[in-house]
Amino acid sequence: MANKLIGEMDLHKRISNIFAARNIITAKDALSMTEFELMELLDVGVNEIQSAVRLISQAASPPCLSARSLMEQKVENEYLSGHLPTHLKGLDSALCGGIPFGVLTELVGPPGIGKSQFCMKLALSASFPKAYGGLDGRVVYIDVESKFSSRRVIEMGLKSFPEVFHLKGMAQEMAGRILVLRPASLSDFTESIQELKESILQNQVKLLVIDSMTALLSGENKPGDQRHQQHQLGWHISFLKSLAEFARIPIVVTNQVRSQNRDETSQYSFQAKLKDGSQEHTRTYDSHLVAALGINWAHAVTIRLVLESKSGQRIIKVAKSPMSPPLAFPFHITSAGISLLSDEGTELKGPGINNIHARGHSEMINFNGDCS
Amino acid sequence: METSTLPLSSSTRGKLISAGYTSLSSISSVSSTDLARDVNITEAEAFEILKMANHQVTGSSTSLINGARNAWDMLHEEEALPRITTSCSDLDKILGGGISCRDVTEIGGVPGIGKTQIGIQLSVNVQIPSEFGGLGGKAIYIDTEGSFMVERALQIAEACVEDMEEYTGYIHKHYKANQVQLKPKDILENIFYFRVCSYTEQIALVNHLDKFISENKDVKVVIVDSITFHFRQDFDDLAQRTRVLSEMALKFMKLAKKFSLAVVLLNQVTTKYTEGSFQLALALGDSWSHSCTNRVILYWNGDERYAYIDKSPSLPSASASYTVTSRGLRNSSSSSKRVKMM
């Protein structure tokens, strides 16, 4: 819409030529300047500019839909009203059916918690035919850290969907639908996703998994070059979101964690003035972890699932979701992939749901020399 | 007063000045035909210039100024202003009854605090019919991030209809419970949804809203979720961004005043380094923070969500707690505590 040509809109020929003469070709060029600036540049009166801008705006505006027709479209056209089931009952009911189409879903957690396992299982289930709860399409799996293991995927398939997998040739066909990419650098990745956007609909791609986003960005910049990194990330955020929307597919992205400095317990300027005893507990002495990639990224994802390990128990939490309460489910990893230990989540109140806990290694390293 | 201050294109201005008409008083005594001949412009243009010049001149005369109203009349208007409830009575109290129409209100907060929830709640509550104390209007929801989940809007709409039916049951005991005409599907029908994918579309839509709302006069709230997203990443020239944003803010204000509707802009958060430490602040910069009439900041306080009135011409700074439930925004269970005033 932004690139609509002014020459093709219903503007008066004279005005249209004036715009073209000053190199204002698309709606984006015209609307990036204020009306006053346009007046100065084009040497045209204020009324003419206003009516020209009005016409350009009308042509470049997005169409209107009522929320009701939005819902009806989803129900009619999309599988399960636009959700990809994760086969984890508690999580699926919290998310109104599963991972939603058209938005970014983020999985964040400390290393070794099970993010890649979750992604692999999701990729597998998306490749299944509709009768078995899949999307009957291809999956593009962008594996930056070389964590994708086909052997593991087949193992998960055999254990969790034995009736499907034992059918002749199924394993080959399902695994054949998962396309794994290993980009060597951020620019490779950028090129690949741009290419993907062109061909996504013809090639029946129904799910995009990026594992992990942080690894892509971390290798690229000189340390301390925060501003540049944020700017680059900004382009990718917009692109991925528009890709998800345009193709109506779910995009699942994994994110790593980093430790939080004391300086970063940020508050608003007015909070210092509010005399409230409960302010003090933000200055804890735990070094706890936060999601990497910054606050801009946190705003951009629609659903954030936090995986953490607390007192030896792995927990998956729905930390940010416009349609679910903040629930936490305990889970464990088996040969069949991730499974929930309880489908009834516990509701966590407060900002604590965003905190990420990780266990140390003292539970694993046994100092007494016993084998456990 | 100089002619160079008139809003004219630069070539016309140049012609005026080179013909000798440098001050407004020199134009006021000349007729449009003479002006047209002297300056070498068409008579219609000359007439326009004279009209503009006279408008400026009468503004400085000592008689009553065109378009001004006295404060007493405005008081009646201000008191009669309808307000949109947020379904959380504590929040409504600090807002003076709810989100006011004819004003631009900015609401900002960290991710996950409930900005989209408030947006969806307001787009449902504006439709509450006047028998129940609402505005009976429609809503425009401008989604720049794709955070509008229609399933959630349906949940909130259903809860709203149930609450209205319960209310009818209490008040009119002899009425049956299902006297409420509005159904959840109708509520969804009255939310006009726009999905904006770039800042160009955002600016284009704001310009186009004037025409759209003239054709749909019962729109009473315009919610933008969020205004920040596209402006944060795609603009390289920050000074240009500030200018474009200021123009957009002015257009929103004009819309609010012209059609007597509420404009609610949802904003994101950024960290900035002031006073020796990192602090949270709403995004888009210091110049933007002047543009909105009212400002509400949502934040976490311990385990509860709070809203704080950061900027308002008539309300005192206060904070109140709220929760987000499956039925929408409601008072938090610890609301037996009184509202905190600064």
Question: Domain of B24: which CATH number?
Answer: 1.10.150.20
Q: Report helix, strand and coil shares of chain A as percent, to nearest 5.
A: 45, 20, 35
Q: Which residues of A269-306 are buried (b: 16+ CB within 10 A; e: fewer)?
A: ebbeebeeeeeeeeeeeeeebbbbbbbbbbbbbbbbbb
CB–CB of A208/A122 below 8 Å? no
Q: Pick the residue with more confidence: A227 or A324?
A: A324
Indicate the residue of B110, B145, B192 with minimum beta-carbon distance to A300: B145
B341 domain-assigned: no
- Written as one string, the DSSP assignment of B83-149 is EE--S-HHHHHHTTSSEETTSEEEEEESTTSSHHHHHHHHHHHTTS-GGGTS---EEEEEESSS---
Domains: count for chain B: 2
A341/B contact by beta carbon, under 8 A: no
Does the distance separating the beta carbons of B280 and A266 come in below 8 Å? yes
Residue of A nearest to B110 (CA): A299
Q: Which of B299, B301, B302, B296 has the alpha carbon at shortest distance from B317?
A: B296
Does the distance separating the beta carbons of B200 and A28 come in below 8 Å? yes
Indicate the residue of A43, A234, A274 with minimum beta-carbon distance to B319: A274
Nearest CA to CA, how far is B339 from chain A (Å)? Answer: 13
Query: Rounded to 5 degrees, what are φ and ψ at B177?
Result: -65, -30
Tell me the pairing of strands B138-143 and B104-109: unpaired
Give strand pairing partners of A140: A179, A208
State whether B55 and B86 are in the same domain. no
Give strand pairing partners of B329: B324
For A188-209, what is each residue's pLDDT tens digit? Answer: 888 888 888 888 878 889 999 9
Give strand pairing partners of A338: A333
SS3 A43: coil
State whether B115 and B232 are in the same domain. yes
Size of interface A-B (CB pairs under 8 A): 228
CB–CB of A95/B217 below 8 Å? no
**Which residues of chain B make contact with A83, given a CB cutoff of 8 A?**
none
What are the sequence ranges of the domains in chain A? Answer: 6-60, 72-262+285-353
State whether B144 and B186 are in the same domain. yes
How far apart CA A39 and CA B152 sit, in angstroms, is 45
Indicate the residue of B192, B199, B297 with minimum beta-carbon distance to A268: B297
Distances, alpha carbon A90 to alpha carbons A75, A94, B147, in Å: 22, 6, 22
| Percent share of chain A, pLDDT over 90 | 10
Q: Pick the residue with more confidence: A191 or A262?
A: A191
Q: Pick the residue with more confidence: A213 or B24?
A: A213
A241/B contact by beta carbon, under 8 A: yes
**Range name among A286-295, A356-365, B43-52 with the lowest pLDDT average:** A356-365
B335 domain-assigned: no
Nearest CA to CA, how far is A310 from chain B (Å)? Answer: 19
**Which residues of chain A make contact with B195, given a CB cutoff of 8 A?**
62, 65, 245
Tell me the pairing of strands B219-225 and A83-84: unpaired
Q: How many CA atoms lie within 13 A of A95 on its CB side?
A: 31
Name residues whose C-beta falls within 8 Å of residue A177's C-beta, 6 or more positions apart in sequence.
A127, A137, A138, A139
Nearest CA to CA, how far is B172 from chain A (Å)? Answer: 31
Q: Which of A366, A239, A216 has the alpha carbon at shortest distance from A300?
A: A239
Question: Domain of B283: which CATH number?
Answer: 3.40.50.300
Nearest CA to CA, how far is B10 from chain A (Å)? Answer: 6
Indicate the residue of B189, B269, B325 with minimum beta-carbon distance to A295: B269
Q: Pick the residue with more confidence: A249 or B57?
A: A249
CB–CB of A19/A42 below 8 Å? yes
B202 domain-assigned: yes
State whether B276 and B227 are in the same domain. yes
B338 domain-assigned: no
B66 domain-assigned: no
A1/B contact by beta carbon, under 8 A: yes
Does the distance separating the beta carbons of A350 and B304 come in below 8 Å? yes
CB–CB of B322/B332 below 8 Å? yes
State whether B44 and B137 are in the same domain. no
Distances, alpha carbon A170 to alpha carbons A84, A129, A131, A166, in Å: 20, 10, 14, 7
Does the distance separating the beta carbons of A2 and B200 come in below 8 Å? yes
B199 domain-assigned: yes
A235/B contact by beta carbon, under 8 A: yes
Name residues whose C-beta falls within 8 Å of residue A221's C-beta, 6 or more positions apart in sequence.
A228, A229
What pLDDT does residue A13 have? 83
State whether B239 and B278 are in the same domain. yes
Does the distance separating the beta carbons of A66 and B189 come in below 8 Å? yes
State whether B47 and B180 are in the same domain. no
Residue of A nearest to B195 (CA): A62
Residue type, B173: K
Give strand pairing partners of A268: B280
Query: Rounded to 5 degrees, what are φ and ψ at A78?
Result: -110, 150
How far apart CA B243 and CA B289 sit, in angstroms, is 13
Q: What is the pLDDT along chain B (342 residues), one digit of tens a residue?
A: 577 777 778 888 888 888 887 777 777 777 777 788 887 788 777 888 787 777 665 544 434 677 777 888 788 877 778 889 999 999 999 998 899 888 899 999 988 888 999 999 999 999 998 888 888 899 999 999 888 888 899 999 999 999 888 887 776 665 554 566 788 888 999 999 999 888 888 999 999 999 999 998 899 999 998 898 888 876 778 888 888 898 999 999 999 999 999 999 999 988 877 777 778 888 888 888 888 889 999 998 888 899 999 889 888 999 999 988 888 889 887 654 444 443
How far apart CA A102 and CA A89 sit, in angstroms, is 22
B143 domain-assigned: yes
State whether B43 and B190 are in the same domain. no
Q: Which of B90, B108, B117, B135 has the alpha carbon at shortest distance from B259?
A: B135
**Range name among A182-186, A289-293, B243-247, B272-276 with the lowest pLDDT average:** B272-276
What would the mean pLDDT of A211-219 be, rounded to a whole number?
Answer: 81
pLDDT of A282 over the 50 cut: no
State whether B118 and B56 are in the same domain. no
Residue of A nearest to B242 (CA): A34
Task: Enter the tokens of residue A306.
Answer: 């936090």
How far apart CA B207 and CA A57 sit, in angstroms, is 6
Does the distance separating the beta carbons of A39 and B269 come in below 8 Å? no
Q: Pick the residue with more confidence: A99 or A77?
A: A99
Task: Enter the tokens of residue A30.
Answer: 């015209």
**Which residues of chain B make contact with A100, given a CB cutoff of 8 A?**
149
User: Could you tell me the sign of the dihedral formed by the alpha carbons of A213, A214, A218, A219, in that order?
Assistant: negative
| Percent share of chain A, pLDDT over 70 | 86
Does the distance separating the beta carbons of B196 and A263 come in below 8 Å? no
Residue of B nearest to A66 (CA): B192
Q: H helices within A78-166, ranges in order?
A: 89-94, 115-127, 150-160, 162-165
* Preferred mutation among A28, A72, A93, A299 to probe B, highest tally of B CBs within 10 A: A299
Q: Which domain holds residue B22?
A: 3-61
Q: Pick the residue with more confidence: A225 or A26?
A: A26
A163/B contact by beta carbon, under 8 A: no
pLDDT band at residue A276 under the 50/70/90 scheme: very low
pLDDT band at residue A34 under the 50/70/90 scheme: confident
State whether B183 and B204 are in the same domain. yes
Indicate the residue of B146, B191, B243 with minimum beta-carbon distance to A102: B146
How far apart CA B110 and CA B116 sit, in angstroms, is 11
A370/B contact by beta carbon, under 8 A: no
A228/B contact by beta carbon, under 8 A: no
Q: Which of A307, A295, A224 has the alpha carbon at shortest distance from A266?
A: A295
Entry pTM: 0.81
Chain centroid to Cα B279, Å, comes to: 26
* Preferred mutation among B10, B45, B201, B311 to probe A, highest tally of A CBs within 10 A: B201
State whether B141 and B195 are in the same domain. yes
User: Could you tell me the sign of the dihedral formed by the alpha carbons of A204, A209, A213, A219, in that order?
Assistant: negative
State whether B172 and B98 are in the same domain. yes
**Which residues of chain B make contact with A32, given a CB cutoff of 8 A?**
199-200, 203, 240, 244
Nearest CA to CA, how far is B110 from chain A (Å)? Answer: 8
For A87-103, what is each residue's pLDDT tens digit? Answer: 888 898 888 888 998 89
Does the distance separating the beta carbons of B326 and A325 come in below 8 Å? yes
* Preferred mutation among A57, A197, A293 to probe B, highest tally of B CBs within 10 A: A57
Q: Check if CATH label 3.90.1150.10 holds for domain A72-262+285-353.
A: no
Residue of B nearest to A245 (CA): B146
pLDDT band at residue A275 under the 50/70/90 scheme: very low
How far apart CA A281 and CA B300 sit, in angstroms, is 12
Distances, alpha carbon A33 to alpha carbons A7, A38, A265, B5, B270, in Å: 18, 6, 38, 21, 25
Distances, alpha carbon A245 to alpha carbons A103, B145, B327, in Å: 7, 10, 27
A74/B contact by beta carbon, under 8 A: yes
A5/B contact by beta carbon, under 8 A: no
Indicate the residue of B7, B193, B304 with minimum beta-carbon distance to A66: B193
Does the distance separating the beta carbons of B152 and A274 come in below 8 Å? no
B273 C-beta neighbours (distance < 10 Å), count: 9
